[in-house]
Amino acid sequence: MTEIRRIGIVGAGPMGVGIAHVAALAGYDVVVHDIDASRLARLPQSLEANLARQIKRGSLHDADARAAQKRVHTSPELRSLADRDLVIESVNEDEEIKRKLYESLKGVLKADAILATDTSSISITRLAAATDRAPRFLGMHFMNPVPMMELVEIIPGIATTPDVTATATEVARKMGKTPVAAQDFPAFMVNRILAPMINEAIYVLYEGVGTVESIDTACKLGLHHPMGPLALADFIGLDIFLSIMKVLYEGLADQKYRPCPLLIKYVEAGWLGRKSGRGFYDYSVEPPKPTR
């Protein structure tokens, strides 16, 4: 297996910050790259707040948190990734954006570097074909929020070599996660199971069978889920969730994966959930108020 000491992360959104968090706690030297300077500027504060929550819960010592913070660096320049052993891409769930990034990384990454994507649904084999290193490319699908969720799906593409898969698996373990192998099919395992359930909850709302509040309450109490499916969709981001449903619908050609028209309308309206302040709930008030 390749020895991983230095990790690069592309994307300073919530997932990128979360991956940086667990990588730094695991002892890796971390560089986070993003073209958005404001995201990079906010990263240290976000990281500190996340670590502080762990300290408050008693799951982390203050000295370990300070050491982890010192291991995380930010850079607006792609060339900052040139010495990284593993680079994890965590940009928007948009295949064209990812492909453009991979094109930009050609000639930047060292020859033996592993490139991983945190995509939640897009074909690993197809993404690998846009890189200059298909044998050293794979999926590492972290769950959100990364510091709290134990699972990482490890998804090799058709060209991924076994040693690269083994290396990524060991990195996930060192980060304190439980790696689970998944095959390269649309949405992999977790989202292939979860997304249709959330989509069906949106259909139940769309058809007037229940309200936002009654659907989420029923699922929390009746299924013992910690969060209702509509609140969860808002947490994920309705635009991201719609992209997952489109991958399932187009990739598997099955009507059961057809995105609910109400979901499409919400995304068209810019009602994307928590990040936009409005989705199935209105987050401008506390507690959030159902919008239907």
Task: Mark whether 162 and 63 lie in a shared domain.
Answer: yes
Active site residue 191: yes
**Containing domain of residue 199, as a range?**
190-290
What residue has token string 């020859």? 111
* Candidates 46, 191, 199, 243; catalytic one: 191
pLDDT of residue 1: 74
Of 159, 181, 203, the domain-final residue: 181
> pLDDT, tens digit, for every residue of 194-232?
999 999 999 999 999 999 999 999 999 999 999 999 999
Instruction: Look at residue 131 and tell me whether its pLDDT is greater than 80.
Output: yes
234 located within any domain = yes
Rounded to the nearest 5°, which phi and psi values hold at 49? Answer: -65, -40
Q: Are both 14 and 130 inside the same structural domain? A: yes
Query: Active-site residue 153, yes or no?
Result: yes
Residues 143 and 282 in one domain: no
Q: Are residues 137 and 31 in the same domain?
A: yes
What is the 3-state composition of the chain as percent helix, strand, coil, each rounded to the nearest 5?
50, 15, 35
What pLDDT is recorded for position 2?
A: 81
| The pLDDT value given to residue 18 | 96
Give mean pLDDT, residues 111-128: 97
User: Which residues lie closer than 8 Å to 11 by C-beta, 6 or more apart?
Assistant: 32, 33, 34, 89, 90, 91, 92, 118
Residues 168 and 196 in one domain: no
Q: Do residues 243 and 135 share a domain?
A: no
- Residue 121 vs residues 141, 244, 261, 269: alpha-carbon distances, Å: 9, 6, 20, 24
Instruction: Indicate the average pLDDT of the chain.
Output: 96
Residue 105: pLDDT over 90: yes
Spell out the long-range contacts of 214-222 with Cβ–Cβ below 8 A and sequence spacing 24 or more. none
Is the domain of 88 the same as that of 143? Answer: yes
The closest alpha carbon to 175, from 13, 36, 26, 282, belongs to 26
> Catalytic residue at 96?
no
Q: Let me know whether 154 and 217 are in one domain.
A: no
Count of structural domains, the chain: 2
- CATH code assigned at 222: 1.10.1040.50
Full-model pTM:
0.91
Q: Are residues 61 and 116 in the same domain?
A: yes
3 is catalytic: no
| Catalytic residue selected from 33, 90, 93, 141 | 141
Chain segment 8-21, per-residue pLDDT in tens: 999 999 999 999 99
Catalytic residue among 120, 121, 123, 243: 120
pLDDT given for residue 54 in this prediction: 94
**What pLDDT shows up at residue 66?**
96
146: nearest Cα among 7, 14, 13, 6: 14
The catalytic position among 50, 153, 199, 243 is 153
